[in-house]
Amino acid sequence: MRKYTCTIAFALSCTFSTFAQTPFLTQNKLIDAQKVKAAAKAAQSLWKPTHEILYTPDKNNEWTKYSENNYTYDTAGNLLVSLSDNGKQKIKIVSTYDEKGQLLTETTYRTDTGSDELKPRMLKEYTYDPYIYDLATSFYFSTISNGDWKHFYGSCYKRTVERDDQGRVTSITKSILEGPDNYVDQIKSLYTYEGTSKAPASYEYQTSNGSTLITSAKYVDLKWAKNTGEYLGAYSNKWFTEGNFLESATIKSDSYGDILLTATDKGGGSYEVVQTYTDEKLKSQKEIQKYEILDNNGSFKYSDLFYFNTEGNAATDDDLYQGAISETRYDDHNNIVLYENRNITSAGIDNATIADGIKNEFVYGGKHGEITQTTTWTYSYNDKEYMPDSKVIADKFADVSTGIEHIATTPSDMKHHVSGVYTLQGVKVASSASTPLPHGVYIIDGKKIIK
C-alpha cells in the first residue's frame, strides 16, 4: 500500500491510498478523491476482478511474481473478502456494509510464519451521520491482545455534529480517543450562515495546540455564484463544482494577515483559484490552483502551484517555486487510461523539474471492458525518469449480480524485462544500450552483457 502526504497552507493535510487496480493518489487541496477513478461503462459496472497477480521488478530487472490476490463481492459490488498470498504469508480482509454501501467493519486476518492458520489481527469499526453520506461519526481501530480486542488509543476517534434549528451544520468536532473514555478534541470545523440561506457565510478550521483548539484558517465574506445548500465539508473542490462555485473570500491569518481568494470560472468545468497576500511584505508570494478539463472525454489536470519572487517584487507566473500537478486521462468510453501525480520545483512552469512522482497506466483487456493490467511507475530524481514499480494482472472476473465468471486472456510470459541498462546490483545507469559506459558487466534486456 502506497501512501502520500500533501501538506498545505490553508486546508487539511491529507493521505489517501487505494486497492491495486485503482490509482494511488494524493488528495490535493481542491481535488476530491472520487473524481479520479476507473469509470466503467453501464453495461460492465457489475463486473469485478476476482483474481489478480502482483508483479515487482527483481534485481535482474524482470517482472517477478510477488503475490496472488482473490476477491469476493456482494451483489451491489462491495468488496466482502480479499485474500493475498505471497507464498510466505497470507492476509485476509473481511468487510461488512450498511444498506447505503458504507463500510461498517473491516477485520484483518494474518498467518504466522510457517503456518496456514489465519488469525485475527486488526478490526476497524465505523458509524455514520444519518443525513450526510459517508461522514463517519465514530471509528474504532482495535488489535488482538491476549485473545481480546483492545482499542488502539490515538487511532480511534468520534465526530460530533452540531446543527441549528434549520438543520444546517454549524460545527463538526473530531476527537481522538487517548485512553479509556478519554477523548481529546483534535480538529473542529465551524460554519455560519446569513438569514435562511444554506450557503455558508464563513468557515473556520481549528486544530489542536496541546490542550486547546486554535484557529488554523478562517474564511470570511464568502461570496457564492451558486450553491446547492448541501453540506460542503472542509475546503475542497466541492466548493467549485457539483452545483457550487465560490467566487471570492478573505482568509484571515494571524501569521500572514489577510489573504484574498478569487476564483474564476473558465467554462466547461475548468476553473482557477488565486490566493494573494495583502501584507506588503508578502506580495512576493502567491498560490494558484487550476482545474483544467483537457478533452471531451472528461480528462483533467489539477495544479496546486506556489510562486515566490526572490527579489521581493510581486510574484508573477515566471516565479514558480514549487507545486504539485496531477493529471487523469480517460478514453472515449470514459475508462481511465492514465493517472500521474508529480511534485515539481524550479523556476517557470515550462522549465519545471520533476522532484518526485507516480504514474499509473491501464490496459482494458476484459471482454466486458474490464481493466486487466495496471502498471505503476515512480519517478527517480537521480535518473530523471520514471522507473517501474509494480504491475497488476487481473485474469478472472465475475458479474457480482449474477455470479457469472469469465477468464481474461493474459500475457503468456510475465518474465519480460524492464527496459534500460543496469549494473549487476540492479542500479540503472542508462536508458539505452547505445549509451557510452565504462568497461564492465551490465544487464541489458535481461541478459548479462560485457562492454
Burial readout 398-427 (b: 16 or more C-beta within 10 A, e: otherwise): bbbeeeeeeebeeeeeeeebbebbbeeeee
Sequential DSSP letters for 339-363? EEEEEEESSSGGGPEEEEEEEEEEE
Residues 154 and 132: their CA atoms lie apart, in Å, by: 25
8 Å CB contact between 185 and 209: no
In sequence order, the β-bridge partners of residue 217 are 205
3-state DSSP assignment of residue 239: helix
Q: How long, in residues, is the chain?
A: 451
Residuewise pLDDT in 10s, the chain (451 residues): 232 222 223 332 332 222 333 222 222 344 343 333 333 333 345 789 999 999 999 887 789 999 999 999 999 999 999 999 999 999 999 999 999 999 999 999 999 988 899 999 999 999 999 999 999 999 999 999 888 999 999 999 999 999 999 999 999 999 999 999 999 999 999 999 999 999 999 999 999 988 899 998 899 999 999 999 999 998 988 999 999 999 999 999 878 889 999 999 999 999 999 999 999 889 899 999 999 999 998 899 999 999 998 898 998 888 888 888 999 998 887 788 889 988 887 654 455 566 678 999 888 888 888 889 999 988 877 777 788 899 999 999 998 888 787 787 655 444 455 566 656 444 566 666 666 676 666 656 555 565 6
In sequence order, the β-bridge partners of residue 177 are 183
Which of 52, 78, 45, 44 lies closest to 367 in space, CA to CA?
44
Prediction pTM value: 0.77
Residues 94 and 85: their CA atoms lie apart, in Å, by: 15
Q: Give me the amino acid identity at 296.
A: N
Q: What are phi and psi of 219, to 5 degrees?
A: -100, 120
8 Å CB contact between 20 and 52: yes
Give domain limits for the chain.
4-418, 419-451
Sequential DSSP letters for 242-303? TT-EEEEEEEE-TTT--EEEEEEEEETTEEEEEEEE-SGGGTTEEEEEEEEE-STT--EEEE
Q: How far is CA 57 from the centre of its chain?
A: 24
